[in-house]
């Protein structure tokens, strides 16, 4: 199962990055007023977020929350993953937005707006992926 899980986590990383980048580009453009800054922030985070997201997925995969040795998948787990990922992702976006725009206030505004939009999008992404067994050979549904 572990060998197959890498394929799943890579696929989830790529699909989330598409959704996340589009959200960041739109929010950054709206907040900064500059499509150029929006695109720069969105594309700068593609690499940092893919690395961070993959590490986040691997960490959560290795966290065993059930008594019988299975990795527990539930709405509570998805909510916990949503909050831990959002903290990491927002911090990364705020720092990148500050660095690219040169304005710490733009970084804070984008980070604040993103907390809400990304948590909703991430939860929906997790629920979407939970319905598919891609990369999971012996998953037992809860």
The C-alpha atoms of residue 98 and residue 122 are separated, in whole angstroms, by 23
pLDDT in tens, 5-23: 788 888 988 898 899 899 9
Alpha-helix residue ranges (DSSP H) falling in the chain: 2-32, 35-62, 75-101, 104-130
Give Cα 91 distance to the centre of its chain: 12
Say if residues 126 and 78 touch (Cβ distance below 8 Å): yes
Q: What is the pTM of this model?
A: 0.72
Q: What is the mean pLDDT of residues 72-81?
A: 79
- DSSP code per residue over 127-141: HHHHT--TT-SS---
């Amino acid at each position: 199962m572990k060998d197959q899980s890498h394929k799943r986590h890579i696929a989830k990383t790529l699909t989330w990055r598409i959704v996340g980048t589009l959200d960041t580009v739109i929010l950054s453009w709206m907040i900064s007023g500059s499509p150029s800054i929006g695109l720069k922030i969105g594309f700068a985070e593609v690499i940092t977020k893919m690395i961070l997201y993959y590490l986040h997925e691997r960490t959560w995969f290795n966290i065993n929350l059930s008594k019988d040795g299975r990795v527990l998948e539930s709405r509570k787990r998805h909510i916990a993953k949503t909050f831990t990922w959002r903290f990491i992702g927002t911090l990364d976006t705020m720092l990148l937005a500050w660095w690219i725009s040169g304005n710490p206030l733009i970084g804070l505004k984008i980070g604040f707006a993103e907390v809400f939009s990304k948590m909703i999008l991430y939860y929906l992404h997790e629920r979407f992926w939970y319905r598919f067994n891609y990369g999971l050979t012996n998953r037992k549904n809860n």
